[in-house]
Amino acid sequence: MLRWFRFFSRWPLGVLHALGSVGGWLAWIFSGTYRRRFLDNARQAGLGWRAVLGAVGQAGRMTAELPRLWLGRTPHLEWASDQAAAEAYAQGQGVLFLTPHMGCFEITAQALALRFGAQYGQLTVLYRPARHAALNEVMALARNRPGLQAVPTTLAGVRQMIKALRAGEAVGLLPDQVPPEGMGQWVPYFGKPAYTMTLAARLALQTGARVVLIWGERLSWGRGYRLHTGTMGHDLSSDLDTAVVQINQAMETMVRASPQQYLWGYARYKAPRQEL
C-alpha cells in the first residue's frame, strides 16, 4: 500500500481531485445506504439538495487527496485569517483546535505546524488507528512530521494531549467523531440526539486551554487550501454537560456556513461501538 501511496503522491492535486470527484459520485449512485444517510443528515440540518450538492464530489476528493497530503509536496496554503490562532497561542495557556468533518481536516494540522510550530512547539493531534496494518504504516509515516505528532485514541494518547496543553502547546481533534461507548454523551446535533465525545470539553476545562475553531477549505481546480480560524464567540461553560452542547453548537455553525464541504455521509447518529 505504501508503494501506491508514494506513486499517487506525485500526481497534481487537480488531477487527484478530479478523479476523487468521480469516485464520490459513483459511491453516491451505487450505494443506496450512503445516499440515504447523506440526504437524511442534510435534511436533519434543515438543508435542501441544492445546498449540499457539491458535497458529493468533495467527499471523493477527501479520499483521493490523501497520498499527496501524506507523502507528497505540501500544496498551496493560504490563510483567510489566522488571528484567532495567533491570539490564542500568545496567551501561553495551550490551544485546543477543533474542526468538524468538513473540508480538508488533514491539511489543518499541517498548516498549523508550518505556521506556528517553530515559535510555539509541536501540535499534537488525535487519530483513530486504521484496522489494516498496511494503512497504519502509511499513517504513521505521514502524520508524524516536524512540528506535528499524532497520538492514538487511547488513554496514553489522551495523557499526551493533556501534557501538551499544560506545557502551553496545542492539540487538535474532531469533536464530531463518534467516540466509543462510555466516552460520550447523547447531545443534540442539528436537533437530533448524537453520541458526542466529552474529551474536547474535558481537555479545555482541565487545562484552561484556549479553544479555537479551524477548518481547511478545499479550493477549486486543485488550487490548494484556504485555512479559516475563529472563536466560539463566548467562553466555554465550566459545566461539562453544557460545554459539550456548546461545542456541538459551534460545529453546527461552521457546517451551516459552508455545507457543500461537509461530510454529510458520515454516520454521525450511529450507536457508539463497544471497546473490548
Share of the chain above pLDDT 70, in %: 94
> Is 152 inside a domain boundary?
yes
* The amino acid at 125: V
Cell numbers found for residue 25: 459520485
The pLDDT-based confidence of 275 (bands split at 50, 70, 90) is low
Residue 24: predicted pLDDT: 98
| Number of folded domains that form the chain | 1
Q: Say how far apart CA 194 and CA 188 lie, in whole Å.
A: 6
The model's pLDDT over 210-259, given as tens digits with 9 standing for 90+, comes to: 999 999 999 999 999 999 999 998 999 999 999 999 999 999 999 999 99
Higher-pLDDT residue of 109, 131: 109
Question: What is the DSSP secondary structure assignment for residue 37, as one 8-state letter?
Answer: H
User: Cβ(68)–Cβ(9) under 8 Å?
Assistant: yes
The one-letter amino acid at 45 = A
Q: What is the pLDDT of residue 143?
A: 67
Average pLDDT over residues 88-95: 96
Q: Say which residues have a Cβ less than 8 Å from residue 154's Cβ, sequence separation at least 6.
A: none
pLDDT average, residue stretch 4-26: 95
Domain-located, residue 124: yes
**pLDDT tens sequence across 128-163:** 766 666 676 677 666 667 889 888 888 888 999 999
Q: Considering all CA atoms of the chain, what is the largest pairwise distance in Å, rounded to the nearest integer?
A: 50
pLDDT beyond 60 at 276: no
Please state, in angstroms and rounded to a whole number, the distance separating the CA atoms of residues 101 and 45.
Answer: 15
Rounded alpha-carbon distances, angstroms, from residue 205 to 63, 95, 167, 210: 34, 12, 15, 10
pLDDT of residue 79 exceeding 70, the answer is: yes
% of residues, the chain, pLDDT over 90: 84
d(CA 259, CA 256): 5
* Average pLDDT score over the chain: 93
Which residues share a beta bridge with 186?
195
Q: Which domain holds residue 175?
A: 76-258
Indicate the SS3 state at residue 171. Answer: strand
For the segment 16-65, what is each residue's pLDDT rounded down to a tens digit? 999 999 999 999 999 999 999 999 999 999 999 999 999 999 999 999 99
- Whether residue 251 lies inside any domain: the answer is yes
Conformational region of residue 43, where left means phi above 0, alpha means psi within -120 to 50, and beta covers everything else: alpha
Q: Report helix, strand or coil for 181.
A: coil
pLDDT band at 127 (very low <50, low <70, confident <90, very high): confident
What average pLDDT score do residues 110-130 get?
A: 90
* C-alpha–C-alpha distance, residues 226 and 88, integer Å: 20
pLDDT (average), residues 81-108: 96
What's the pTM value of the predicted model, to 2 decimals?
0.95
Residue 54 lies in a domain: no
Question: Which pLDDT score, from 0 to 100, does residue 155 have?
Answer: 87
